[in-house]
Amino acid sequence: MMLNDPEQTGGLPAQPEVGIAEPAAAAAPAVATVPAALAAEGVPTRFACFVTGTDTEIGKTLVSSAILHKLVQTGVRACGMKPIAAGAEERDGELHNDDAAMLRAAGNVNLPQHITTPFMLREPCAPHIAAALEGVTIEPVTILTAYAEILGASDATVVEGVGGFCVPFSDDFDSAGLAVQLNLPVILVVGMRLGCISHALLTAEAIISRGLVLAGWVANLVDPGMRFVDENISALEQRMPAPLLGRVPRLDNPSAAEAAAFIELAGLPGWPATRA
């Protein structure tokens, strides 16, 4: 699902602060902190975020990979995680998903696929349907356990959600619930096309209403024929309760390195300084 485009009870201790965007008329969400166990060992504050989108196939994987690329450039150990990938095919005896593979390639921490993508599903459809077809139940404990392993092996982590913010995984678990359990600051990818303003504002409202930090948003041009792009982005800048982190144009051959040139995250608290 490459698109300007690549796509397609309890939790872990709270994660470190990545950035806070104050909602216009809501109480500020709780600030994430370094897990007590890690703080006791003197582990420095780390960067971590949850990347979601206004819809499916609007560039979450491209932006997530671009963030990982920029993290690697700072000299830290960066690892991407796509907990659920729906739409996999078997290659050389192992299931392969283009989005999960792009995240793995953008980071510099080599972990087994069952850790970076605990649920690799064959059917390219909604995760709860793909899981049911395979007799699999998507449960938070499996994802949270894998995430804990990633924390131990890396300095920075980017977790990419599935589809939009509220995509169901099972009868009682969805992408929004996963974001809450991970308790990571959220970066929202807005697919620039007709209707994106309402989609973006409703998604931001859903994120903040769950007590999560909306760290920022990225405008990704998915419809090259969209009219009044600048005006739409301006309208969103006036209304979104978080800063614009970048504008990614339509790319002929989208890659993590190319997209990274159009986003800026150095101003977010927790972003690592470039190492010599």
Q: Which residues are designated catalytic?
A: 82
Q: Which two tokens stand for residue 59?
A: 């560039």
Which of 101-104's residues contact partners 24+ apart within 8 Å by CB, and which partners? 102/2, 102/6, 102/61, 102/62, 102/65, 102/256, 103/61, 103/64, 103/65, 103/68, 103/158, 103/160, 104/80
Cα angle, residue 50 at apex, residues 57 and 268 outer, rounded to 5°: 115
Letter string b/e over residues 118-141, b meaning 16 or more CB atoms within 10 A of that residue's CB: bbbbbeeebbbebbeeeeeebebe
3 vs 216: CA distance, rounded Å: 21
Q: Which two tokens stand for residue 222?
A: 């998915």
3-state secondary structure at position 188: strand
Q: Provide the phi-psi class of 57: left if phi over 0, else alpha when psi is between -120 and 50, else beta.
A: left
Rg value, the chain, Cα: 17
23 vs 240: CA distance, rounded Å: 8
H or E stretch including 16?
Answer: none
